Amino acid sequence: MGDFDNKEREEVFSKKVRAGKRTYFFDVKATRSGDYYLTLTESKKRLEDGVFVKHKIFLYKEDFEKFTEGLTETVEYIKSHQDVVEKRYEYSENAEYTHTPKTDSDDFSF
């Protein structure tokens, strides 16, 4: 059971977001009873050996509101207490990232 059982869950929806050297996966899956939940996965390639390291969070629908509130409050705190110098990267087919500067029209609100 446990982890193996979870891998067999059907993906209902998936969104992949490349952000610099990291890739984030937002996957909606269904429990046995048909309830949806979200898995957030961060994937980053280790430079020393080329292995992808993944970190995963499971977020259940009863926690969505509190999670969103906490994340929004934390992001707003950072924005209001420190100048955030953001780097934007665009992924190219040859696995190189090119820097794109942040503009005032960028919106990172949730």
Higher per-residue confidence, 24 vs 89: 24
Compute how many other C-beta atoms are within 10 angstroms of the C-beta atom of residue 55: 10
Average pLDDT over residues 49-67: 95
Task: Name the pTM for this structure.
Answer: 0.65
Q: Residue 11's pLDDT is what?
A: 87
Q: Domains in the chain and their CATH numbers?
A: 9-79 (3.10.450.700)
Tokens of 51: 């292995």
pLDDT tens for residues 17-49? Answer: 999 889 999 999 999 899 999 999 999 999 899
Compute how many other C-beta atoms are within 10 angstroms of the C-beta atom of residue 29: 19
Above pLDDT 90, what percent of the chain? 56
